[in-house]
Amino acid sequence: MKVVVAGAGRLGTQIAQVLGAARNQVTLVDQDEGRVAALEGRVPAELCLGDACEPAVLEAAGAHAADLVVATTGEDEDNLVVSLLAKRQFRVPRVIARINDDENAWLFTRHWGVDTAVPAAAPLVSLVEEATSSSDTVALLRLSKAGVNVIETTIGPRSRAAGHTLADIAVPHGIVVATVVRGGDPLAPAPDLELREGDEILVVSHTADQSEVHAVFQ
């Protein structure tokens, strides 16, 4: 699946991490030169410097061939412009947009090219189904066409993984750690990264379910 993510903030970067780790072809667009430079080599995605509200930038990012565009900037106006361009000019089949201000939610409809609107307060990658609060391990997203699950688990005070590096943890075949979120910031899943209480682990898998992921990290 070819994906363009507009906005390389926390949410956009994490989405790029997850979808890139699931072997999707992802391009992450942002107009902040420093932010783009800081992400070089840290996300499994192509980086594109520019304003995604400009058609030429979206085209350079591959919107003309994209299966999915995700607008995750911090400005609702920008997310609506990106969505409208993606749908009307580039005929992107699926467009997802972040709502920053709830008062603007009424605008995020198909009239503006938005297929799915995601409130800013929603959990990461709850693009298809909201995470429940009943478990520390929840399936956040199923990429039905690819048969890929995206699963989140949080390292608790009794988690066996706390204090161990990713290299120390026996992760079964078929489970890939996409990113570790610590204090709101995504971290590259390097083998020497030591896990701490409160870390959010995002994994992708074609085969594992929530209970299997829970058994690995809890």
Give me the pLDDT at residue 6, please. 96
Give me the pLDDT at residue 112, please. 94
**Is residue 142 in a domain?**
yes
State the total domains in the chain: 2
Report pLDDT digits (tens) over 138-185.
444 544 444 567 777 888 888 888 888 988 888 877 778 888 888 767
* Domain CATH code at residue 203: 3.30.70.1450
How far apart (Å, rounded) are the C-alpha atoms in residues 124 and 110? 22
Write the CA distances from 184 to 124, 146, 199, integer angstroms.
11, 28, 9
Q: Domain residues for 154?
A: 137-217
Residues 102 and 144 in one domain: no
Give me the pLDDT at residue 124, please. 54
How far apart (Å, rounded) are the C-alpha atoms in residues 78 and 43? 23
The CB-side HSE value for 201 (13 A sphere, CA atoms) comes to 32
Give me the pLDDT at residue 136, please. 45
Residues 72 and 142 in one domain: no
Q: Which residues of the chain have pLDDT under 50?
A: 125, 127-140, 142-146
Give me the pLDDT at residue 184, please. 67
| pTM of the shown model | 0.65
Give me the pLDDT at residue 51, please. 96
Residues 84 and 164 in one domain: no
Give me the pLDDT at residue 128, please. 33
The answer for residues whose C-beta is within 8 angstroms of residue 37's C-beta and 6 or more apart is: none
**Is residue 124 in a domain?**
no
**Is residue 87 in a domain?**
yes
